[in-house]
Amino acid sequence: MTPDEKLSLDIRDFWRVHDGLEAYAHLDAKGMMDRLRAHKEDALCEVADFSGSGKLMCTRDGYNAIIKLAERHRDSLSVPDDYSVKELVEGLRNHIVRAMVEEKQDEPALARVLGDAVNEADRNHVERTYHFPCVVVPHEEPPQFRIGVVAFTSAKAFPQLFAKEIQAYFQKSEDDTFSKERVQRFEEYLLNYGWLASIKVPPCAEEAAKQRAEAAVTTAINLLRLVFGVHYGRDMRVAHVAFVQPSMIEFAVTSNGELDFVWSRKSSGALVAKDWYLAMQKWRGFWALAAHLVATIVSGKRSEMSYRVEDALSWFGDSAFESAPGTKIVNFVAALERITTTESFSTHKFCSRVAMLGYEEEKDFEKTYWDAFDVHTARSGVIHGGFSPTSAAFRKKVSLAHDLTRNVLFRGLEVHFHLDGGGKLSELADLQTFFTKQHSKWASVLKTLEVQLKTKKRNA
């Protein structure tokens, strides 16, 4: 939308608000009640009066116009995700009457009220640090580790490492008993999960801040799962946003006419050795790429590739909570397509780009191409009923898809760093250019593979 188009729509909605206020402006108490009985949709449609201490009624159409103004203006800001429509609506409601009265023309009044709404939102934007209980590993060591801007603290170490913050919480509380009970309850809750993930979010709307914090911590956990592999990292999650696999299970069973009760308990977290973090120190290059992605998610200034890698990691991570092999392979192929597809889907292009990202040595390029074809064919077979997900052959395809997706995601992190290095925010065209350059390197091989693919499809 061009600035002129936005201005035209904004002025139209500005006058809708004006007309909505005017509909009630000259009514006495009885007239207002009569109109509300006839227009029940206007209930609760209020804005602040000139003094800011009272309320004025508005029509539902006028109130809806305020919402449209907020939505459109939010989309025009340099970082729209820093703001919520709700807070901009509140700012418009608080300032629109004063702007209408004090400004003599509609355009200056419109510019003023939009500016006032943004300024009011900015005053409420503060830096926030979120601390989310989560499941990571079933061990207590190390007491704390980091994945970029996300710090993970073991539940056992929380009282000591957060002693200063906890003491400050006690000091500001007016009820010592309540505050101590609240901290104790949180510590007990945290022990159920084992770890606390902390992430500092730059100033933005509270709603946006929480969403970014959840996305950053979830991505950090998915990056750990990428390292461990889905099979070893099944139970890792943020406590309040992810699928839940209970640590304790109870059920009853009747066998041969006799009732019995079954109880089982399992440890939570990734199936890794106690000294897992020592091995992770060897992956310095990977952790630098991971830190770059997580920092991007928190900043709010996002590129095309950052969204793609985050989404692909999410689908890869979601497969850890799936028991059905058919659903797993759908998730894996969705992750591959999210990384590699930049235009209308083509099987050859998909296989080519997966091969470009997924091969480990150049001699494996053609094999990786056909691996991509196999897993995509298996995924299509499950969806359309051509494969049985219970067959041994299909389970091998799921394992192949898992390993192939891991390799592509590792490379996807590198591509993100390459495209967005130096603070640049890559666009779809940049990713398209990257693949075009990679294609030129393998052009002759891919031409032969395309002919073979067409032959294989004809003979299928």
Q: What is the pLDDT of residues 103-142, one digit of tens each?
A: 989 899 999 999 999 999 999 998 899 999 999 888 888 9
Q: How far, CA to CA in Å, does 64 sit from each of 14, 71, 288, 429? A: 11, 11, 46, 37
Question: What pLDDT, on the 0 to 100 scale, is given for residue 29?
Answer: 86
Query: How far is residue 446's CA from residue 436's CA, in Å, rounded to a whole number?
Result: 12
- 421 versus 224: the higher-pLDDT residue is 224
Give the pLDDT band (50/70/90) at residue 267. low
Average pLDDT of every residue of the chain? 88
Average pLDDT of the residues in 223-246: 77
Query: How far is residue 318's CA from residue 238's CA, in Å, rounded to a whole number?
Result: 12
Give the pLDDT band (50/70/90) at residue 228. confident
- 223 versus 268: the higher-pLDDT residue is 223
CA dihedral 384, 390, 392, 396 (to 10 degrees): 60
Statement: residue 269 has pLDDT above 80: no
Average pLDDT of the residues in 245-251: 60
With a CB cutoff of 8 Å and minimum separation 6, the contacts of 239 are 132, 133, 134, 135, 193
Single pTM value for the model = 0.83
Instruction: Show the 3-state SS of the chain.
Output: CCHHHHHHHHHHHHHHHHHHHHHHHCCCHHHHHHHHHHCHHHCCCEEECCCCCCEEECCHHHHHHHHHHHHHHHHHCCCHHHCCHHHHHHHHHHHHHHHHHHCCCHHHHHHHHHHHHHHHHHHCCEEEEEEEEEECCCCCCCCEEEECCEEEEECCCHHHHCHHHHHHHHHHCCCHHHHHHHHHHHHHHHHHHCEEEEEEEEEECHHHHHHHHHHHHHHHHHHHHHHHCCCCCCCCEECCCCCCCCCEEEEEEEECCEEEEEEEECCCCCCCCCCHHHHHCCCHHHHHHHHHHHHHHHHCCCCHHHHHHHHHHHHHHHHHHCCCHHHHHHHHHHHHHHHHCCCCCCHHHHHHHHHHHHCCCHHHHHHHHHHHHHHHHHHHHHHHCCCCCCCHHHHHHHHHHHHHHHHHHHHHHHHHHHHHHHHCCCCHHHHHHHHHHHHHHCHHHHHHHHHHHHHHHHHC
Find, among 146, 126, 127, the residue nearest to 136 by Cα.
146
Give the pLDDT band (50/70/90) at residue 278. confident
Strand partners for 48? 55
Statement: residue 270 has pLDDT above 70: no
Q: Encode burial over 418-436: b for 16+ CB neighbours within 10 A, e otherwise.
A: ebbeeeeebeeebbeebbe
Q: Which two tokens stand for residue 185?
A: 């309850």
Question: What pLDDT, on the 0 to 100 scale, is given for residue 280?
Answer: 76
Of 21-35, 272-286, 290-304, the one with minimum mean pLDDT is 272-286
Average pLDDT of the residues in 273-296: 84
Of 31-40, 253-262, 297-306, 402-411, the one with minimum mean pLDDT is 253-262
Strand partners for 391? none
Q: What is the pLDDT of residues 366-397, one digit of tens each?
A: 999 999 999 998 888 877 665 665 666 777 88
Statement: residue 260 has pLDDT above 70: no
- Hey, CA dihedral for 322, 326, 332, 336, is it positive or negative? negative
Question: What pLDDT, on the 0 to 100 scale, is given for residue 143?
Answer: 93
With a CB cutoff of 8 Å and minimum separation 6, the contacts of 430 are 304, 305, 419
Statement: residue 324 has pLDDT above 90: no
C-beta atoms surrounding 240 within 10 Å: 11
- 191 versus 276: the higher-pLDDT residue is 191
- Say which residue the tokens 């600035």 belong to: 3
With a CB cutoff of 8 Å and minimum separation 6, the contacts of 38 are none
Question: What pLDDT, on the 0 to 100 scale, is given for residue 251?
Answer: 62
Question: What pLDDT, on the 0 to 100 scale, is given for residue 460?
Answer: 67
Query: How far is residue 198's CA from residue 130's CA, in Å, rounded to a whole number?
Result: 6
- 242 versus 81: the higher-pLDDT residue is 81
Strand partners for 152? 145, 197
Given a contact cutoff of 8 angstroms between Cβ atoms, the answer to whether 286 and 413 are in contact is yes
- 228 versus 416: the higher-pLDDT residue is 416
Percent of the chain with pLDDT over 90: 56
Average pLDDT of the residues in 317-330: 82
Query: How far is residue 11's CA from residue 19's CA, in Å, rounded to a whole number?
Result: 12
Given a contact cutoff of 8 angstroms between Cβ atoms, the answer to whether 387 and 381 are in contact is yes
Strand partners for 135? 237
Query: How far is residue 293's CA from residue 410's CA, in Å, rounded to a whole number?
Result: 12
Q: What is the pLDDT of residues 418-448, one digit of tens each?
A: 999 877 899 999 999 999 999 999 999 999 9
Query: How far is residue 232's CA from residue 279's CA, in Å, rounded to a whole number?
Result: 15
The C-alpha angle with vertex 232 and arms to 230 and 236, in degrees rounded to 5, equals 75
Q: What is the pLDDT of residues 280-289, one digit of tens each?
A: 777 888 999 9
